[in-house]
Amino acid sequence: MISTSQCKTIVVSVFLIICLFGQIPGNPASAESVQMQKVSPELRLLDPDAGPVSVIVQPASTWGPLLDSLLSNSGGVVVRTMQNLPLRVVRIPVSSIQLLASSDDIRYISLDRNVEAMGHVTYTSGTDTVRTETTTSILGVTKTTTLDGTGVGIAIVDSGIYSAHKSFANSLGLSRVILSKDFTGENRTDDPYGHGTHVAALAAGNSQIASGAYTGIATNANLINLRVLDSRGVGKVSNLIGALDWVLSNHILYNIRVVNISLGQSAIDSYTNDPLCQAVRKLVDAGIVVVAAAGNNGKTASGQKLYGKIHSPGNEPSALTVGASNSYGTNERNDDGVTSYSSRGPTRSFWTDDSGLRHYDNLIKPDLVALGNKLISAAAFNNLIVNQNPQLDANVSTSNASRMMYMSGSSMSTPIASGAAALLLQVNPKLKPNLVKTILMYTSQPLSGYNTFEQGAGQLNIAGAVRLARLVKTDLLSAVLPPSLGAPLLTGPAPTPQTTIAGKTFTWSQGIILNHTYATGANLITKYQIVYGTGLLLGDGVTEGPYSQAVKLRLMTGGINLGNSILISDASPLGGGAIFLTSEVLLGNGVVLGDGVVLGDGVVLGDGVVLGDGTLLGDGVLIGDSYVQAFSAMACGDSTAYMSR
């Protein structure tokens, strides 16, 4: 009998053979195959006689009269136009899609898929440790500042916000939900579903309920309520893209520095083609931190670990992608772990070449994890989730303005990271998104026994991140000209890479995730890296070959070390622990993880399989990361599914 370790070795060997010798070549490219490359996989499977369908059309360059004419001749009708993004949402007969794709003026056509919602934290996350800071000027003047996200705008792109909830009141009793806008067509901005209100309060709920027992992270940040999910918790990708397009037009007016996306769709199209990922990239390039949920598909129906189920837009490299961790009801962090349901990497979105061969993105995601298991937060008035699941009422209050509820999932982890980003931007408003990501990953805590596909760089450590963000030179980042490569980044020496919470000291990861590898080294925080600016990805600092990776020295300094393996952490800095899989298998042509292949302790997502049970979920309807999946983990033998604080 072959042992598990031997099986793993055989699998890795097979992967390496594929990388070294490539795939069996397919037929030469034809006009039809090139045309097919521009149509998303599920559209190709539709019956040509099925009638009109809603699609998202991306032009090869700019949108102009020729494309309008082409659409008209194809029987297509534009139903939504974006202000800042060149794509159009089009209603078109299925029989005309291939004709439209045959034009050189069309870059990609994808289904307007459905998106759905994906799923006391301040102490164990380290927020309380840095909530109040006292500084003394050179003149001896002492100043006390409350770190609460004041002045920072967080856009909650979700099912709406019940703005009358007491969690969102400021010190004067006025709501901090400063703007609400509906993108669903239901012409309402409250939260009949209940997901968005819970998410918003985790990011920015105050301490006015239950003596502050369920306080959010950035307690005085402003909230911008962008409703993209309807009363049932379902919406279209075009709703979400429309909201992100609105943010691009209005982020300066409302000082929107952070966008929280606790929802998503199955990641099918490569991030290079996915219109949702393209929209996220535009926001990050505009200086906005976009935080996205990893998803809650981390195991099969039988309870076996499932790899490769990161949701879109969590598969976008520029997004800060967050998985869910579990505190197991304690303040100490030495017993924390990744929840069994949190989606694991690598990303399995793909593009298809001329031969019809799929090439998977295979990015390492999530970037980090944060508390997400059975968290108590604000409950919207008369919301569907609690009405259908009364056991989720936390029984904190009978007042509609103070009711609280339980939910679990990476949906809940995501706003905790969004609140953390807001605190960093309050401490240092000059930070760009890539530097915010770097600080959060560098200071995170590697969790023992979990591999990089499960936890990224580690568990969010707000206390350490704030301490590091305070040291970053504001004058360097606010200069008219961009800083030069290698310029000193901190105002003083690098801080000790450790944090103490609840009497327990842990070591930072001291590294960051970069596409198909990770990087470590003090130079990541002591010297300015060109990739910390806008218009670049952190991963742009790495040059990749078919079998190896190296630092690109015109974008990153020397003294930065790249890892060559996906590791099972031993709780030491990133790079410590047992080898789980060599990162070499993520390179090459991208086709390295076969359908249903056993990967050490789990299975890799097979082509087209959404939940690991061999079935699709119908016409693009996607089960998101909400209380439904997080709590159904109990049925899969996860005895910790209801445990959290």
Per-residue pLDDT of 485-495, as tens digits, reads 999 999 999 99
Domain finish residue from 92, 112, 132: 112
Rounded CA-CA distance 626/116 in Å is 8
Rounded CA-CA distance 409/393 in Å is 16
Do 185 and 278 fall into the same domain? yes
The amino acid sitting at 157 is: V
Rounded CA-CA distance 258/16 in Å is 40
Rounded CA-CA distance 643/355 in Å is 49
Q: Which pLDDT belongs to residue 600?
A: 59
Contact 348/297 with Cβ under 8 angstroms? no
Q: Which pLDDT belongs to residue 139?
A: 65
Helix (H) or strand (E) holding 233: none
Q: Which pLDDT belongs to residue 355?
A: 82
- The CATH code of the domain that includes 523 is 3.40.50.200
Residue 228's pLDDT band (cuts 50, 70, 90): very high
pLDDT tops 60 at residue 6: no
* pLDDT tens figures, 250-260: 999 999 999 99
Enclosing domain of residue 75: 36-112
Domain finish residue from 83, 112, 141: 112
611: number of Cβ within 10 Å: 18
When the pLDDT of each residue in the chain is averaged and rounded to a whole number, the result is 85
Domain finish residue from 112, 129, 164: 112
Q: DSSP strand E in 355-492: where?
A: 358-360, 368-371, 375-378, 404-407
Give the least confident one: 236-250, 298-312, 423-437. 298-312
363 versus 547: which is more confidently predicted? Answer: 363
Q: Which pLDDT belongs to residue 477?
A: 82
235: number of Cβ within 10 Å: 28
- The CATH code of the domain that includes 40 is 3.30.70.80
Do 365 and 432 fall into the same domain? yes
Q: Which pLDDT belongs to residue 27?
A: 43
Tokens of 229: 């999910």
Do 158 and 134 fall into the same domain? yes
**Is position 608 within any domain?**
no
Q: Which pLDDT belongs to residue 317?
A: 98
Strand order in the sheet with 106-111: 77-81, 88-93, 52-59, 106-111
Q: How many domains does the chain have?
A: 2
Q: Write the Ramachandran bin of 476: left for phi over 0, alpha for psi from -120 to 50, otherwise beta.
A: alpha
Is 235 in a helix, a strand, or coil? strand
Q: Which pLDDT belongs to residue 20?
A: 27
Contact 173/165 with Cβ under 8 angstroms? no
Contact 409/324 with Cβ under 8 angstroms? yes
DSSP secondary structure letter of residue 283: H
CA distances to 9, 256, 386, 408, 582 from 13, in Å: 6, 48, 49, 38, 10
Q: Which pLDDT belongs to residue 5?
A: 43
The structure tokens 């990015």 sit at: 363
DSSP secondary structure letter of residue 254: T
pLDDT tops 70 at residue 14: no
64-96 residues labelled b (16+ CB within 10 A) or e (exposed): eeebeebbeebebebebebeebbbbbbbbbbbb
**Is position 18 within any domain?**
no
pLDDT tops 60 at residue 48: yes
The amino acid sitting at 22 is: G
The amino acid sitting at 59 is: P
Do 128 and 51 fall into the same domain? no
Residue 144's pLDDT band (cuts 50, 70, 90): confident
124 versus 294: which is more confidently predicted? Answer: 294
**Is position 101 within any domain?**
yes
302 versus 155: which is more confidently predicted? Answer: 155
* pLDDT tens figures, 359-402: 899 999 999 999 999 999 999 999 999 999 999 999 999 999 99
Do 152 and 280 fall into the same domain? yes
501 versus 9: which is more confidently predicted? Answer: 501
Rounded CA-CA distance 599/586 in Å is 13
Helix (H) or strand (E) holding 306: strand 305-307
pLDDT tops 80 at residue 33: no
User: What are the φ and ψ backbone dihedral angles of 571, each rounded to 5 degrees?
Assistant: 75, 5
614 versus 40: which is more confidently predicted? Answer: 40
Rounded CA-CA distance 607/362 in Å is 13
Do 90 and 178 fall into the same domain? no
**Is position 150 within any domain?**
yes
**Is position 473 within any domain?**
yes
Q: Which pLDDT belongs to residue 118?
A: 52
Q: Write the Ramachandran bin of 173: left for phi over 0, alpha for psi from -120 to 50, otherwise beta.
A: left
